[in-house]
Amino acid sequence: MSQDDKTNQQWGGRFSEPTDAFVQRFTASIQFDQRLYRHDIQGSIAHATMLEKAGVLTAEEKDKIINGLNEVQADIEAGKIEWSIPLEDVHMNVESALTDKIGITGKKLHTGRSRNDQVATDIRLWLRDEIDSISNEMTRLQAGLIDLAANEADTIMPGFTHLQTAQPVTFGHHLLAWNEMLERDFGRLQDCRKRLNQSPLGAAALAGTTYPIDRSLTAELLGFDKPTENSLDSVSDRDFAIEFCAFASLLLTHMSRMSEELVLWTSAQFDFIELPDRFCTGSSIMPQKKNPDVPELVRGKTGRVNGHLFSLLTLMKSQPLAYNKDNQEDKEPLFDAVNTVSDCLRAFADMIPAIRSKKASMLEAATRGFSTATDLADYLVRKGIPFRDSHEIVGKSVAYGIEQGKDLSEMSLEELQQFSDTIGADVFDVLTLEGSVAARNHIGGTAPDQVRQAAERARQLVAAR
């Protein structure tokens, strides 16, 4: 039986029979980890460069390997490489293609490393690039959201608690609340990037290597901040993947909350906003329908990303040090989480700036539900009445308004004074919606001037990234 007949020739020396064909398919990861090829080649080029400086490779061998790796990458991108399941993963496929091109010199590339530190390096390199791309999309979304908020600083709408009308706010203020969520998410993403940006290359299988490698050099060549400190942890750590999925879960939770409001606001019952047709679909049977499919799908995809977080947490919860085959299961949840987050952000970054507010509908809705009741209570307190007594007076006024079908601002002065003779003609300054929002003129408040200032601060923060 030849070596080729036994099993994978890159590790099959001690095996006496070939791997079962089903087991080959079951244990292979090339079906999904082939997307790491660029980062695998990037890491191999850095490793070969370091091996030459350490005296393990000659300059000629190093150049031959690097040129060969560049040719392999070109072949992959031209569709000339056929991925092999018997070769298991992207690392062995790339190395095999390299050896086919440059001969025995290609077999020297793996000196001083293992697939364990190789895959840990590849995933970190890949995820770092994806984080940078996602960061750019988040910045694009926030920039559009902030501009929309500034333009809607004077647009009055009802604010809600318990989904009941509470107090009037401005649409711009509401949108900036969304931006605060996203700003925290952006910070968490940058924290994740900082912690993952350490190089495990050189940890080898689990204990390091006997070759005179320079891990600081490969870390520098690959743009890492430094090498990881412990070889056992280096090959078994997947905290960075879990942390990314935790970020993704919270981001999608926030986007799901936004989506819920967008769905409500586009309904005939609210009629607060209109989404452009290009982000909606129709019905196959009801010709009048305009369905907000984009926010509905973002809301739905939150469960998918949450599931990936729990998959990774469960994957790692019982693993002894160091590397275990279980860790092969880290990639598909992580890959899909990245894809989902990227798509959702792109959809929102395109859609949010194109939202058109229906100012008249928002204003009319804010007049319902006695949204200035708290303003009347505050007015009475400023006139010297204790808050608890003011609360009771306003409660009785509201009950009267419900009986009469009148909002507080629609009542005459005489009607209001039947509940307290402290009420004067100046009360109507605070009972109007405009007066109510303008009165909350402090940092974090909904007054239009404050919204414009907050939007400018947010704009400067995003621009400084």
Which amino acids are annotated catalytic?
162, 283
Q: Which residue has the tokens 């559009």?
A: 144
Report d(CA 153, CA 455) in Å as an integer.
Answer: 9
Our measurement of the distance from residue 350's CA atom to the centroid of its chain's CA atoms, rounded to an integer in Å, reads: 16
CA torsion through residues 39, 42, 48, 53, sign: negative
User: 3-state DSSP call for residue 113?
Assistant: coil
User: Distance of CA 396 to CAs 200, 380, 389, 411, 415, Å?
Assistant: 69, 14, 11, 13, 12
Q: Structure tokens of 396?
A: 């009785």
Cis peptide, bond prior to residue 149, ω within 30 of zero: no
CB 385 within 8 A of CB 393: yes
Q: Which of 149, 152, 135 is nearest to 194 (CA)?
A: 135
CA torsion through residues 86, 90, 95, 98, sign: positive
E-only strand ranges, 215-342: 226-227, 273-274
Tell me phi and psi for residue 281, to 5 degrees: -130, 170
State in Å, rounded, how far the first CA of the chain is from the last one: 61
* Residues β-bridged to residue 170: 156
CA torsion through residues 228, 230, 235, 237, sign: negative
Rg of the chain's alpha carbons, rounded to an integer? Answer: 31
* Residues β-bridged to residue 291: 281
Report d(CA 99, CA 62) in Å as an integer.
Answer: 13
